[in-house]
């Protein structure tokens, strides 16, 4: 970890106070233990720094997508339980056991392969059953055939080298207000509890039961079971346009600088494809950010194009977004000069007519999750506390 000065080129600011505030809000709402989902490098926020902050704030557990994410958390000092939500090569049973990492088991075929590898390595792997109640990705298919799913899990529980300490499922449409989706979510919840009750009635001890994702735990805190899994809401963003959670504070702001300012005469064009030609004199600034940094090319200038802010005023994108540079109109922002700070997106743009993560997601036909996860790791993460930098993570220098 480096705390030395970094080049102001294109960087992300991560507000640790906002992260702590969001976690505290979630825990108050849920009224029980909250696990932090920090897969995809903490949704682009940098798990090496944010996970220890969340553990200190009281996170009861962590959830990741793969073994490398889990072992990375251990290297960075995380001591709480870590659950891998997806697939791990069964031959890595020894690494799971060595790291005291919990593995999701989602089929009898997978359980048998993991058991064989664990036996061969002379280890025991901690596991949680993954039940499919309607998400349709991975899991014992309770929605298709509850009896068969329960029987399969009970067979898995008897396999050597595996210790089952929990069970979970995932909601498909808990972030929707449509009547059919609300009914579907409620059915998923009911079905999951039926599975848990059946397994417990048959003698299985499952200390950790969890089913609620970001939307479900805030809309149905009574569904918390033994643990909830907070993902996007940790980072201050709503799970969907249907579900607004009052009090969340966006954690990420993408910033850059102006590298060049020029006057554009009528008839002159900018960027690839010459998609913008000035009809009247304009003043144009080049900003050090592009699609290689995670700024979508779909924000190229025109109707629905991107809008950054400079000196607290909106600066619309002109022409096509390039790999590493983007042009913006600063005609109405007097005094714009080389080196000026640019807010590409973030909560500070709210009310300025410039972009936030949510407005960019709407403009590009995607979700805020994809935008923040897509910020390239070449972009340094600058961690703020009380408004001042306390840590800097520059991936290109660290690795």
By CB neighbour count within 10 A (0-12 exposed, 13-18 middle, 19+ buried), where does 1 fall? exposed
> Residue 4: pLDDT band by 50, 70, 90 thresholds?
low
Q: Residue 395: pLDDT above 90?
A: no
Torsion of CA 315, 321, 324, 327, to 10 degrees: -30
Q: Residue 191: pLDDT above 90?
A: yes
Fold of 16-234: TIM Barrel (3.20.20)
Query: Any catalytic annotation for residue 291?
Result: no
Query: Any catalytic annotation for residue 262?
Result: no
> Residue 375: pLDDT band by 50, 70, 90 thresholds?
very high
Sign of CA dihedral 59, 61, 64, 67: positive
Question: What average pLDDT score do residues 236-253 get?
Answer: 97
Q: pTM for the whole thing?
A: 0.95
Residue 352 CA to residue 356 CA, distance in Å, equals 10
Q: Residue 2: pLDDT above 80?
A: no
Exposure string over 318-345, b if 16+ CB within 10 A, otherwise e: bbbbbeebbbbbbbebeebeeebebbbb
Q: What is the pLDDT of residues 83-121, one digit of tens each?
A: 999 999 999 999 999 999 999 999 999 999 999 999 999
Choice among 43, 130, 255, 272 that is catalytic: 272
Domain 252-366 classification at class level: mainly beta
Q: What is the 3-state secondary structure (H, E, C) of 290-336?
A: CHHHCCCHHHCCCCCCCEEEECCEEEEEECCCCCCCEEEECCCCCCC
Strands 227-230 and 208-212: parallel
Residues in the chain: 399
Q: What share of the chain is helix, strand, coil (3-state, %, to 5)?
A: 35, 25, 40
Which CA distances in Å does 395 have to 48, 255, 291, 301, 372? 11, 17, 18, 30, 16
Residue 172 CA to residue 154 CA, distance in Å, equals 25
**Structure confidence at residue 1 (pLDDT):** 35
DSSP 271: S
Q: Which of 261, 280, 256 is CA-nearest to residue 336?
A: 261
124 three-state secondary structure: coil
Q: Domain locations in the chain?
A: 16-234, 252-366
Residue 323 CA to residue 17 CA, distance in Å, equals 32
Q: What is the pLDDT of residues 61-76, one digit of tens each?
A: 999 999 999 999 999 9
**Structure confidence at residue 398 (pLDDT):** 64
In DSSP terms, 15 is beta-bridged to: 384
**Structure confidence at residue 195 (pLDDT):** 98
Q: Which of 371, 25, 83, 300 is CA-nearest to residue 208?
A: 83
Residue 189 CA to residue 210 CA, distance in Å, equals 11
Choice among 39, 43, 184, 383 that is catalytic: 39
Sign of CA dihedral 162, 149, 88, 84: negative
In DSSP terms, 209 is beta-bridged to: 167
Q: What is the pLDDT of residues 218-236, one digit of tens each?
A: 999 999 999 999 999 999 9
């Amino acid at each position: 970890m480096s705390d030395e000065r970094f080049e102001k080129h294109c960087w992300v600011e991560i507000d640790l106070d906002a992260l702590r505030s969001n976690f505290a809000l979630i825990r108050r709402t849920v009224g029980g233990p909250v696990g932090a989902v920090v897969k995809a490098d903490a949704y682009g926020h940098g798990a090496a720094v944010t996970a220890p902050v969340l553990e200190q704030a009281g996170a009861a557990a962590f959830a990741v997508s793969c073994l490398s994410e889990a072992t990375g958390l251990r290297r960075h000092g995380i001591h709480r339980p870590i659950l891998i939500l997806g697939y791990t090569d069964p031959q890595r049973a020894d690494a799971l056991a060595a790291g005291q990492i919990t593995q999701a088991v989602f089929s009898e075929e997978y359980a048998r392969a993991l058991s064989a590898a664990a036996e061969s390595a002379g280890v025991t792997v901690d596991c949680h059953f993954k039940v499919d109640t309607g998400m349709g990705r991975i899991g014992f298919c309770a929605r298709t055939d509850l009896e068969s799913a329960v029987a399969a899990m009970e067979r898995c529980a008897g396999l050597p080298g595996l210790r089952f300490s929990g069970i979970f499922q995932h909601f498909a449409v808990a972030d929707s207000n449509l009547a059919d989706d609300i009914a579907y979510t409620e059915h998923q919840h009911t079905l999951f509890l039926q599975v848990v009750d059946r397994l417990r009635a048959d003698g299985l001890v499952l200390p950790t039961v969890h089913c609620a994702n970001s939307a479900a735990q805030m809309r149905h805190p009574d569904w918390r079971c033994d643990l909830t899994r907070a993902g996007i809401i940790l980072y201050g963003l709503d799970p969907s346009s249907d579900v607004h959670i009052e009090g969340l504070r966006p954690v990420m702001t993408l910033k850059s600088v102006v590298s060049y300012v020029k006057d554009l005469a009528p008839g002159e064009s900018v960027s690839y494809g010459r998609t913008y030609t000035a009809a009247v004199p304009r003043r144009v600034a080049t900003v050090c950010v592009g699609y290689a940094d995670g700024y979508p090319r779909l924000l190229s200038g025109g109707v629905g194009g991107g809008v950054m802010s400079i000196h607290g005023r909106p600066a619309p994108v002109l022409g096509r977004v390039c790999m590493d540079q983007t042009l913006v109109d600063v005609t109405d922002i007097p005094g714009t000069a080389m080196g000026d700070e640019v807010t590409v997106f973030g909560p500070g743009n709210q009310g300025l007519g410039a972009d936030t993560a949510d407005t960019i997601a709407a403009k590009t036909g995607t979700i805020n999750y994809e935008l923040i996860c897509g910020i390239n790791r070449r972009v340094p993460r600058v961690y703020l506390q009380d408004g001042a930098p306390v840590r800097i993570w520059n991936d290109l220098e660290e690795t």
